[in-house]
Amino acid sequence: MFLFTIKYFGFLKFVPGLPVVFDAWLKIYTLLTRPMLLDWIDDIETHMRKLPSVTAHNHKYGGLQFDRHKTEIGHIHSNGLLDMLLTRKIKAELMRQGLITDHHSFKNTGWISFYIRNEDDVRYALKLLRLGYDRIGERGRKLAQDFNKLFKQKTGKTPIEFRSN
């Protein structure tokens, strides 16, 4: 149902509020057909919120989104579909191993999709989200290092030295 809707009615995601309504119906359907899945999504949210600098909120196209420093780590739709951005290299390796699938909309990017179907999948989803968490952290450290280097080139001092004067 989800992939059919995305394929043929995906353009409707731009109608304000409609993705949230669709996700609410998806959540009701999941509650009736696979209630344990909603508990697993809650468990994932609890685990992710324990990580430093992680926030969770509604995704703009429905589902639960996790951010680190206001950068999206990934999001889970109410049917248990985890979507997230990895590097193309990591995505290629995980796809080669058959562990994830190409994102349902963004095929030739680093975006991946992973369906949570059982408790083992919950553990794997947490590993994937941790990869995304670490990816954002590495990028943040690199940006800080680049900034500090450029700052020192321009001022002759590190930001800390500059502030202490």
For 66-103, what is each residue's pLDDT tens digit?
999 889 999 999 999 999 999 899 999 999 999 899 98
Domain of 28, in residue numbers: 2-154
pLDDT computed for residue 149 by the predictor: 77
Any domain includes 161: no
Report the pLDDT value the prediction gives residue 32, as an integer from 0 to 100: 97
Residue 79: inside a domain, yes or no? Answer: yes
Q: In what order do the strands lie in the sheet with 71-76?
A: 54-58, 64-68, 71-76, 81-85, 111-115, 101-102
What CATH code is carried by the domain that includes residue 76? 3.90.1150
> Does the CA dihedral 34-39-43-45 come out positive or negative?
positive
Tens digits of residue pLDDT in 35-78: 999 999 999 999 999 999 999 999 988 899 999 988 999 999 99
Is 147 a domain residue?
yes
pLDDT-derived band of residue 6, with 50, 70 and 90 as boundaries? low
| Domain-embedded: residue 160 | no
In a domain, 24, yes or no: yes
Q: Give the whole-angstrom CA distance, residue 36 versus residue 127.
A: 20
SS3 54: strand
Q: Give how many domains the chain has, as a whole number.
A: 1
Asked if pLDDT for residue 140 goes beyond 70, the answer is no
Cα–Cα nearest to 78, from 131, 5, 161: 5
Residue 159 lies in a domain: no
Plot region of 154 (φ>0 → left; ψ -120 to 50 → alpha; else → beta) = alpha
Whether 165 has a pLDDT exceeding 70, the answer reads: no
Residue 162 domain-assigned?
A: no
Listing DSSP states for 55-124 in one string gives: EEEE-TTSSEEEEETTEEEEEE-TTSEEEEE--HHHHHHHHHTTSSEE-SS-TTSSEEEEE--SHHHHHH
